[in-house]
Amino acid sequence: MLLPAYLFALGHSEFEVGVIGSVTLAGSAIATLALGAWGHRAAPRTLLLGAALLMTATGLGFAAFAMLWPLLVIAFLGTLNPGAGDVSVFLPLEHARLAAAGGSSTERTTLFARYSLAGALSAALGSLFTAVPAWFATQGHVQRVDALRSMFILYAAIGALIWWLYRRLPMPDATSSGARPAPLVASRGIVTKLAALFSVDAFAGGLVLNSLLALWLMQRFGLTLEQSGLFFFCAGLLAAASQLAAPWLAQRIGLVNTMVFTHLPANVCLIAAALAPSLWFALALLGVRALLSQMDVPTRTAYVMSVVTPAERTAAASFTAVPRSLASAASPALAGALMAGGALAAPLVLCGALKIAYDLTLWWACRRQPLAGD
């Protein structure tokens, strides 16, 4: 939410905002790929502590520099995420630990739903903090850019807090099943297929990252940063509420059906929002999308963990996340170029159409795939 406002305050253009978003996602993809290939050689605790320190350095770097090239380097090497979900190296490490804690696919879905719920609520709370820089600038009599910069210092402080928490958290080197992390071998085929499918979804999602969707609302309807933050807070609460329904629905219709049949109407709402004639109509459609579009997050993760062997879970989480990051890295720059050229609605329509194609293909390809991780 704050990333485009901060970059605009520094004097960067819409296209440069999109480029920084692409570089951020590309860097996350390469780091996650390295984790999947060589991460089994190091203790998960050590990797998580290193990721927390990198998060702290990222926040301090964005606060310290204003020129494009230093910001591009920090975006590539760091952990900053311009979207709504986590695409950093934290993801596969945490997913593997959670999968080891759950026995059956149903238990794993419930665990991942709680994990996603905590993330969605935290993201919603973070959206409310977009109003803090304006208050700080007014009450503290500081420049707006300095007020925005202070939020990146807060981001760095949260990274330090995460480092402290992970130092206190027991983190065994092997999963509870007794299987040590291993590279992909037996599950390579299904992981490759899922990675290809997920990359289409991620490329589409990169067209409407939260930072770009906020930019669209500001440009199309004149929303202020504070108003956009309030909307994304409400949308985050709707997304969080849907996480609670995901395990219940998956237990009744299956993981794949839950992913597809909640995602399809959400993408129709996105296309309709792009063509909406009024602000309130667009916000209502985006709210329905928020309520439905995130139900596939815990089910998708639980599905990946269920179709691979326990020893391959960290590698599978990494190698399914990498194509998502790589694919989504290309699209923010495209979206920024389209919006800079005057086609404000084009990224939303293109995103919805691609995601609908992904949903249908995923259902056809995986509807009969047996579960191997139970």
Q: What is the pLDDT of residues 81-127, one digit of tens each?
A: 765 555 567 877 787 777 777 666 677 778 888 887 887 778 778 87
| pTM for this model (two decimals) | 0.68
pLDDT given at position 210: 81
How many domains is the chain partitioned into structurally?
1
Mean pLDDT confidence for 69-81 = 87
- Residue 212 sits at the vertex; the CA angle it makes with 286 and 329, to the nearest 5 degrees, is 115
Kindly give, in sequence order, each residue whose CB lies less than 8 Å from that of residue 301, ignoring residues fewer than 6 positions away: 95, 112, 116, 317
Kindly give, in sequence order, each residue whose CB lies less than 8 Å from that of residue 179, ignoring residues fewer than 6 positions away: 309, 310, 311
Cα separation, 56 vs 36, whole angstroms = 23
Does residue 372 fall inside a structural domain? no
pLDDT given at position 158: 94
- Structural domain including 328 reads 2-366
Does residue 228 fall inside a structural domain? yes
**Higher per-residue pLDDT: 271 or 205:** 271
pLDDT given at position 176: 46
pLDDT given at position 57: 94
Does residue 373 fall inside a structural domain? no
Q: What is the pLDDT of residues 132-184, one digit of tens each?
A: 888 888 887 888 889 999 999 999 999 999 999 988 877 554 444 445 556 66
Contact by Cβ (8 Å): 339, 219: yes
Kindly give, in sequence order, each residue whose CB lies less than 8 Å from that of residue 285, ignoring residues fewer than 6 positions away: 269, 270, 272, 273, 276
* Domain CATH for 104: 1.20.1250.20
pLDDT given at position 175: 43
Cα separation, 86 vs 116, whole angstroms = 10
Lowest mean pLDDT among 26-40, 218-232, 236-250: 26-40
Does residue 374 fall inside a structural domain? no
Single-letter residue type at 324: R
Single-letter residue type at 144: R
CA distance readout (Å), 12 to 16, 19, 82: 6, 11, 16
65-95 residues labelled b (16+ CB within 10 A) or e (exposed) = ebebeebbebbbbbbbbbbbbbbbbbbbbbb
Q: What is the mean pLDDT of the chain?
A: 82
153 token code pair: 């210092």
Mean pLDDT confidence for 184-199 = 81
354 token code pair: 């691609």
Lowest mean pLDDT among 28-37, 44-53, 258-267, 285-294: 28-37
52 token code pair: 């927390």
Query: What value does the CA radius of gyration of the chain take, rounded to a whole number of Å?
Result: 20
Does residue 371 fall inside a structural domain? no
> Given pLDDT bands bounded at 50, 70 and 90, which one contains residue 128?
confident
Examine the pLDDT at 288 and tell me if it is beyond 70.
Answer: yes
Single-letter residue type at 215: L
126: number of CA atoms within 13 Å, CB side? Answer: 21
Mean pLDDT confidence for 359-371 = 84
Mean pLDDT confidence for 292-296 = 86
pLDDT given at position 1: 72
Residue 81's nearest CA partner among 59, 98, 49, 53 is: 59
> Given pLDDT bands bounded at 50, 70 and 90, which one contains residue 237?
confident
Helix, strand, coil distribution of the chain in percent, nearest 5: 80, 0, 20
Residue 40's nearest CA partner among 179, 159, 169, 165 is: 179
pLDDT given at position 174: 43
Examine the pLDDT at 61 and tell me if it is beyond 90.
Answer: yes
Element (H, E) at 347: helix 346-366
